[in-house]
């Protein structure tokens, strides 16, 4: 219980004290490299809207190797595939033991030329 309270306090402190940026925060932005291609990011939450930490997010392009990443304590993920991959050709899914994927919602419209592709996943507890 104490660990949960500490984790919640740390998460709230990070959320309330960090600068507000469009489309989320700058989690892992320092790892962005020039020419790496679009940044794929978003949140994984349960059906009640609670962040799901340590969830697996799979960025799967039509061709080539998929990229697997984990969410942070706020349920946030961020990564790149390859610059030559068109964002519309990347399927995003999420999972975690004890959950099943309920929905995936892409906030950045298909066909957009944006360099930031925001997609949120919702998981339902089994």
Query: Tens digits of per-residue pLDDT, 52-108?
Result: 999 999 999 999 999 999 999 999 999 999 888 889 999 999 999 999 999 999 988
Provide the pLDDT for residue 26: 47
Distance CA 108, CA 66 (A): 20
Q: What's the confidence (pLDDT) of residue 124?
A: 97
Whether 17 is covered by a domain: the verdict is: no
Domain count, the chain: 1
d(CA 88, CA 109): 9
CATH number at 53 reads 2.60.40.1120
Q: What is the percent of the chain with per-residue pLDDT over 70, rounded to a whole number?
A: 72
Q: What confidence category does residue 43 fall into, taking pLDDT thresholds of 50, 70 and 90? A: very high
pLDDT value at residue 32: 56
Q: Indicate if the pLDDT at residue 15 is higher than 60.
A: no
Position 7 in a domain: no
Judge contact between 41 and 27, C-beta under 8 A: yes
C-alpha closest to that of 40 among 68, 73, 77: 77
**pLDDT reported for residue 60:** 97
Task: Reduce the DSSP state of residue 3 to 3 states and report it.
Answer: helix
Q: How far apart are CA 50 and CA 41, in angstroms?
A: 17
pLDDT at res. 40:
94
Q: How far apart are CA 48 and CA 31, in angstroms?
A: 31
Q: Residue 110's domain spans which residues?
A: 27-125
């Amino acid at each position: 219980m104490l660990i949960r309270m500490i984790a919640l306090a740390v998460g709230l402190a990070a959320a309330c004290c960090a600068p507000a940026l469009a489309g989320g925060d700058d989690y892992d932005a320092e790892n962005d490299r020039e020419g790496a291609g679009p940044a794929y990011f978003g949140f994984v939450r349960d059906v009640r809207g609670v962040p799901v930490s340590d969830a697996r997010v799979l960025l799967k392009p039509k061709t080539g190797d998929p990229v697997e990443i984990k969410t942070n304590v706020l349920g946030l993920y961020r990564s790149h595939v390859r610059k030559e991959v068109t964002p519309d050709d990347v399927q995003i899914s999420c999972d975690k033991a004890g959950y099943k994927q309920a929905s995936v919602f892409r906030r950045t419209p298909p066909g957009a030329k944006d360099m930031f592709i925001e997609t949120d996943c919702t998981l339902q507890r089994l």
